[in-house]
Structure 1
Amino acid sequence: MTAPANHPIKSLEKTVEIIDLLKRRRSAHLGEVAEELDLNKSTVHNHLSTLREHEYVVKDGEEYRLSLQFLHIGGVLRNEIDLYEAAKPKLDRLAEDTGALVTLATHERGLGTVLYRAKGADAVEIDTHVGSQLTLHNSALGKAILGHLPRSRVEEIVDERGLPAATESTITDEAELYDELDEVRERGWAFDDEENWRGLRCVGAPILTDEGVVKGAISISVPKSQLATDGDRQGYVDEIKSTANLIELRLAYA
């Protein structure tokens, strides 16, 4: 968990709250921002005007929204992550070969962050995009990551983030989750049986360093009918583990 600042800057906290609100709502009038954050309009106007001056917010008519400056920052950051550079061509090939949706995520602050998605010819559409943040307990990506973190760190994440249910199949019991993570660590892959999206099953594998540190994970997502048998699952497991190994080799010898 992030330690609180000893001397937080109140004006900066207000700016961050405004940015977070615009991220959630996509756009808002000045009065809506003031009402939701319980701030007076003049204070909100000053913050928004400063953000506009530095090109982090734009105004369309009477509504404010975040600018593409944030997209630029995210792109610069992603391109600095060696995992993305190593994984992208391998995921493109995997998506082409399987026709499925293939996703790469890393982890920070107890959450997963999507770095890349590759879509095959028959890929399903789900509500995630590059930059989406995901809880880790209810997806193949997340469980592949959790299964290769120290148990003490997993317990910290569960304490901080909880085990919220996305569907009726989500694991919400700590003991059940820890048992499954033991299996994930032992076999080297994770399975998501409609735990994040109804009708969708996913297979995921971790990306590990030579020292066994988990840098992220990759997954294949398909309609549940395509993962109906053990034979179906094993085919995708072989694909995802092979691709993960190729990415690990590229990271090790780049």
Structure 2
Amino acid sequence: MSTTRNNGTVKTARTTFQILEELKRKNGATVTELTEEFDLSNSSIHNYLSTLEEDGYVIKNGTEYKVGLRLLDLGGFARRNRHIYDIAKSEVTALAESTGEMANLVVEEKGKGVYLHRAHGNKAVRTDSYVGQRVHLHNTALGKTILAHLPEERVDEIIEHHGLPRTTPNTITTRDALLEELETVREAGVSFDDEARVQGLRCVAVPIINNNDRVEGAISVSGPTSRLQNEYFTRELPEELKSAANVIELNITYM
């Protein structure tokens, strides 16, 4: 195993996290399966896994290794350090209760959206999203809301680094179309996702802007297209979200 630096990175550290990401992607894997994914011997992979297991970052069940709950401790700590989480979570939960749908809080980090809080209403449908998940910004209402309030040069950096992959037929996949959409979002103060990431799912999102005019994150309500329709989708939900965002922004300002 090499521990030499390459462009400022330590290769063993990067490999460790790549192994964890692969365990997450596969929802568990054996040493042999991981060896097939990495240019490392069985013994090297086993050494990585044994160290991670000893420290609680992976668990072993028979011959299979899975991500351990020690990582939840780190994630929970990171989330608490985002002050917007404590400030916004009660309003997001209230949105879920009042609408019966799924309500979300997302922030941008390293050019992707990260779910900090999700609340399920009594009618909420289950999706593939979860707290801590990192998603592209261009194909969600939450992400477009955040992008709309970032400098254009930052938007270009994000596009350059992460691209604009298509996830459904409704996904925006060109820079010009995205910038045009972001201008509409800025003017309206609200963003809509009409099956752009998940077919059958719609979402409405608004930004959280601090008193320095910087976007702190975004909140949303999402639900099936069969329920998010007409004026409820285009007018009533946006107004309810804007009201919640106003409360969050005031609390950010005066806390």
Question: Percent identity, aligned pairs only?
Answer: 45
Instruction: State how many pairs are aligned.
Output: 251
The aligned counterpart of 1:84 is 85
Query: TM (normalized to structure 1)?
Result: 0.95
Structure 2 portions without partners, runs of 5+: none
| Aligned partner of residue 84 in structure 1, secondary structure | helix
SS at match of 2:114: strand
Corresponding residue number in structure 1 for 2:196: 195
Partner of 2:164: 163
Which has the larger displacement, 36-45 or 104-113?
36-45
TM-score normalised according to structure 2 size? 0.94
CA distance in 1, matches of 2:9, 2:79: 28
Shift of 1:231: 5.3
Q: Which amino acid aligns with 2:220?
A: S
Deviates further, 215-224 or 6-15:
6-15
Q: How far apart are residue 212 of structure 1 and its match? A: 0.9
Q: Match of 1:190, as an amino acid?
A: S
The one-letter code matched in structure 1 to 2:83 is: D
Query: Which residue of 1 is the match for residue 237 of structure 2?
Result: 236
Query: What amino acid does structure 1 have at the position aligned with 2:89?
Result: K
Q: Which residue of 1 aligns with 2:51?
A: 50
Deviation of the 1:252 alpha carbon: 1.1
Amino acid at match of 1:140: A
Counterpart Cα distance in 1 of 2:228 and 2:63: 49
Q: Distance in 2 between matches of 1:54 and 1:199?
A: 42
Q: Which residue of 2 aligns with 1:181?
A: 182
Once structures 1 and 2 are overlaid, which stretch shifts more, 219-228 or 168-177? 219-228
Q: Counterpart of 1:226?
A: 227
Contact 2:204 2:233 (8 Å CA) reproduced: no
- Take 1:7 and 1:168, find their aligned partners in 2: how far apart are those partners? 40
C-alpha displacement of 1:204 = 0.3
> Partner amino acid for 2:172?
I
SS of equivalent to 1:227: coil
What amino acid does structure 2 have at the position aligned with 1:112?
A: G
Tell me which residue corresponds to 2:132.
131
Task: Name the CA distance, whole Å, in 1 between partners of 2:233 and 2:82.
Answer: 33
CA distance in 2 between counterparts of 1:192 and 1:88 reads: 22
Deviation for aligned residue 1:5: 5.8
Question: For residue 59 of structure 1, what is the amino acid of its counterpart?
Answer: K
Partner of 1:22: 23
